[in-house]
């Protein structure tokens, strides 16, 4: 290592980087930095980050489901409105037919399509 009065050289920096990469690959980097006593804190921090990422993914998938369900609800509301319109139209026909019968008219709903007369 370097003494107090000496300057750093490029070779020293290269050697330090080489040793650091080697220590990372061998899994000894934290031990060389003398951080072994904080190991449980580091593991706990990684666990919290993992839980945060997992929770974010769960929330994202839930929001995607909500958007998909809202689109389905809108489609069903449109279909419901169309069916309700058809039902009200049929009720009006039945009410009109009853009014015609009550007034004694012989007019009824046609049973077959109209015939086209040529001139």
At 36, give phi and psi (nearest 5°).
-60, -35
What does the pLDDT look like over 75-102, one tens digit per residue?
Answer: 999 999 999 998 887 777 778 788 788 8
Q: Could you list the residue range(s) of the whole structural domain that residue 59 is in?
A: 10-101
Rounded to whole angstroms, the Cα distance separating 36 from 39 reads 5
Give domain status of residue 107, yes or no. Answer: no
Mean pLDDT score of the chain: 84
* 8: nearest Cα among 19, 16, 29: 16
Q: Tell me, yes or no, whether 117 lies in a domain.
A: no
The larger pLDDT score, comparing residue 26 to residue 68, is at 68
Is residue 48 assigned to a domain? yes
Q: Where are the alpha helices (DSSP H) in the chain?
A: 10-26, 29-32, 39-102
Mean pLDDT of 19-47: 82
Q: Would the pTM of this model clear 0.75, i.e. be above it?
A: no
Please list, in sequence order, all residues whose beta carbon lies within 8 angstroms of the beta carbon of residue 2, skipping any fewer than 6 positions away.
8, 12
CB atoms within 10 A of CB 111: 5
Q: Are 30 and 42 in contact (CB under 8 A)?
A: yes
What's residue 87's pLDDT? 82
Residue 59 lies in a domain: yes
Residue 54 falls inside a structural domain: yes
**Tokens in use for 49?**
């980050």
Residue 75 lies inside a defined structural domain of this protein: yes
């Amino acid at each position: 290592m370097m003494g107090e009065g000496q300057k750093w050289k490029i070779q020293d920096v290269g050697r330090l980087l080489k040793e650091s990469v080697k220590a990372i690959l061998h899994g000894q980097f934290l031990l060389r930095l003398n951080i072994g006593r904080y190991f449980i804190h580091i593991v706990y921090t990684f666990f919290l980050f993992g839980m945060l990422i997992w929770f974010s993914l769960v929330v994202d998938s839930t929001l995607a489901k909500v958007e998909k369900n809202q689109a389905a609800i809108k489609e069903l509301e449109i279909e419901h409105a169309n069916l309700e319109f058809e039902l009200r139209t049929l009720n009006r026909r039945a009410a009109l037919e009853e009014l015609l019968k009550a007034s004694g008219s012989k007019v009824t709903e046609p049973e077959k399509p109209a015939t086209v007369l040529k001139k």
